[in-house]
Each structure stands twice: as C-alpha cells, then as structure tokens.
C-alpha cells in the first residue's frame, strides 16, 4: 500500500552539528550515510525535497567573531563550511541513487551550480534533491534565515527544522524536568517567549508569508518520513487558527 504524504514540496534544515555525530567535529560518514538513507525514503515517496545544512561542525562565524575576528570575514568562512557539508551530503545521496544538485550563493562553479531560482525549481520538478549552500551569500544572516528564504522562493509547503529535541518546550527539557512540550504554537508565541528554535529573522520571514515550521527530533530514525506523512510528532509553528 502506497503511503500518503501531506506535503508536495518541503525544505529540510539540518544543523552542521548533526553531521558530526558523537565526535563533535567534522563529518561522521556513518551519520551522514544514515541521514542520506532517510532522505532517500522521502524522495522515494515522490516528495520534492530541498536541503539547507549549517556549518557549525566545521566553523561558526558568530563564535569566531565573539573572539575578535572581523564578523563579515568570519561569516564568509562559515558559508564555506556549509559548502563542504553540502558536497558531503551530495556524495552520500548519489551513492544511494538519489539525483542531487548543490547550488551556492557564492560563486564556485568548479564544485557547484550558482543559485538560480528557476533552475532550482526545474531540478525539484525532476525529483532531484537540491542542496542550497553558502547561506544567503551575505554576512550577518544565519542558515536558518537562508532556509526560510529559500523555502519561500521555491514555494515549499513547509519548512522542516530538525533539532536535538522532539519539539519546542517551555524551558530546556535537559535542565528543567517540568518543561512542557507544545504540539502547536504561533509565530508570535515563539517570538514573544524568546524561544531560540530559529533566529528571529527566520521566524519573522515565515510569519510574514505564512510558511509553517515543523520542529522535530532528528535522532529518532524515520522521523523525517513521519513528518512528511503527517504524523503528530514535534511542534508545528504557524499563524493564528
């Protein structure tokens, strides 16, 4: 029996740290391979999928800037880290037979296509996974903001934010045993409570254009597929009912 999906086209945001696994730095081949298997399962359902991957497993521009590096230079270095992660994910996906294209906001034609919206849409229509690298191409903007921007540009039905916990809580569940998980929240609730699930620019962009955000636990095997199929896991952030 063919599984029914709730979304035609989605953008999946992964943190760079997710690729590092237990080693805490760099790229763990076993971890990226397991992620590629999960993404393949989603693509096999006929869903059009785009990816944005952070670079924190290699270099964090904000952290470097806080230690005295000039912020714009640090952010450009962070963008290059996202390209490394994107190429690694492309390799893992294509080894599993998933057609993939990497598009970068910074010109580097030797390794990836430049970001061209109409070309990205064409790739998605042909059921290729498109990985958007190098953020927005501008310093001072996070990969969360890049994910929100690209999701709207490609007409995604939802932005899937894969995290370390199974949704948005009233407090840090690792520190507060009484923390409560929300199944639904509004953009204004997230902004008003100062919940750091995504930066405020990313949340505001989604709010202005009505793009739902689904926050879920990446570490539970099969969760990407469960979200795509509409299972009630994680937290969905959207406008007022």
Residue 140 domain-assigned (yes or no): yes
Domain-embedded: residue 206: yes
- pTM, two decimals, is 0.95
Q: What is the mean pLDDT of residues 154-158?
A: 98
The CATH number of residue 212's host domain is 3.40.1160.10
Span of 31-45, 73-87, 191-205 with lowest mean pLDDT = 191-205
Residue 73: partners with Cβ closer than 8 Å, 6 or more residues away: none
Residue 155, domain member (yes or no): yes
Name the residue with higher pLDDT: 144 or 170: 144
Least Cα distance to 91 among 139, 27, 149, 11 occurs for: 27
pLDDT of the residue at 2: 57
Q: Is 86 left (phi over 0), alpha (psi -120 to 50) or beta?
A: alpha
Region 222-226: mean pLDDT is 96
State how far the Cα of 106 lies from the Cα of 135, in Å rounded to an integer: 9
In this structure, is residue 18 part of a structural domain?
A: yes
**Residue 4 falls within a domain, yes or no?**
no
In a domain, 190, yes or no: yes
| Domain enclosing residue 177, as ranges | 9-238
- In this predicted structure, what is the pLDDT of residue 1? 44
pLDDT at 65 over 60: yes
Domain count, the chain: 1
> What is the per-residue pLDDT for 59?
93
For residue 1, is it within any domain? no
Measured distance CA(101)–CA(231) in Å, rounded? 29
pLDDT at 210 over 70: yes
- Percentage of the chain lying above the pLDDT 70 cut: 99
Are β-strands 100-104 and 113-114 bridged in parallel, bridged antiparallel, or unpaired? parallel
Q: Is 153 exposed, middle or buried (0-12, 13-18, 19+ CB in 10 A)?
A: middle
The per-residue pLDDT for 241 is 61
Question: At residue 90, does pLDDT exceed 90?
Answer: yes
Give the pLDDT of residue 173.
Answer: 83
For residue 87, is it within any domain? Answer: yes
């Amino acid at each position: 029996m063919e599984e029914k999906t709730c979304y035609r086209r989605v953008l999946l945001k992964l943190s760079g740290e997710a690729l590092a696994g237990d080693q805490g730095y760099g790229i763990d081949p076993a971890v990226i391979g397991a992620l590629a298997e999960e993404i393949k399962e989603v693509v096999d359902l006929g869903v059009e999928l785009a990816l944005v991957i952070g670079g924190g497993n290699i270099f964090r521009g904000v952290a470097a800037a806080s230690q005295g590096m000039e912020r714009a230079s640090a952010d450009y270095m962070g963008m290059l880290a996202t390209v490394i992660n994107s190429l690694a994910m492309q390799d893992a996906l294509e080894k599993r037979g998933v057609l993939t294209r990497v598009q970068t906001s910074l010109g580097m034609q030797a390794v990836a296509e430049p970001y061209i919206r109409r070309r990205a849409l064409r790739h998605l229509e042909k059921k290729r996974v498109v990985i958007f690298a190098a953020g927005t191409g501008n310093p001072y903007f996070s990969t969360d903001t890049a994910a929100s921007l690209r999701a709207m540009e490609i007409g995604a039905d939802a932005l899937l934010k894969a995290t370390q916990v199974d949704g948005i809580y009233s407090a840090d569940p690792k520190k507060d045993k009484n923390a409560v998980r929300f199944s639904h929240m509004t953009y204004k609730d997230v902004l008003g409570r100062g919940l750091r699930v995504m930066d405020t620019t990313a949340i505001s962009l989604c709010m202005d254009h009505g793009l739902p955000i689904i926050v879920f636990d990446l570490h539970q095997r099969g969760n990407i597929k469960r979200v795509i199929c509409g299972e009630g896991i994680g937290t969905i952030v959207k406008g007022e009912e």
